[in-house]
């Protein structure tokens, strides 16, 4: 399995689950387009803070 859960750091500095089972991330201007294995798609203005692929985690921050 190559998908990861994506977490977004909120205004309090806490990680909140943003989208599960993401298998595609595309940069689009100042945004990131995330798509999961179920075809669900979300767009967020954020940058990648960290990736732990062995643990299937990606952390984003605005």
Token pair for 28: 């689009």
Q: Residue 13 sits in which domain range?
A: 4-61
Task: Render pLDDT for 5-19 as a digit per residue (tens, 0 to 9).
Answer: 999 999 999 999 999
Is residue 1 predicted with pLDDT exceeding 80? no
- Number of alpha carbons in the 13 Å side-chain half-sphere of residue 52: 7
Q: CA-CA distances (angstroms) from residue 49 to 1, 5, 7, 39, 40?
A: 22, 14, 10, 24, 22
Query: Rounded to an integer, what distance in angstroms lies between the CA atom of residue 41 and that of residue 23?
Result: 11
Contact 30, 45 (CB under 8 A): yes
Domain count, the chain: 1
Model pLDDT, residue 43: 98
Of 36 and 1, the one with more pLDDT: 36
Task: Render pLDDT for 2-59 as a digit per residue (tens, 0 to 9).
Answer: 899 999 999 999 999 999 999 999 999 999 999 999 999 999 999 999 999 999 999 9
Global confidence as pTM:
0.92
């Amino acid at each position: 399995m190559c998908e990861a859960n994506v977490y977004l750091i909120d205004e309090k500095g806490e990680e909140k689950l943003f989208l599960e089972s993401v298998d595609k991330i595309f940069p689009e201007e100042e945004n990131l387009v995330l798509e999961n294995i179920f075809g669900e798609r979300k767009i967020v203005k954020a940058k990648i803070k960290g990736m732990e692929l062995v643990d299937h985690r990606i952390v984003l921050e605005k």
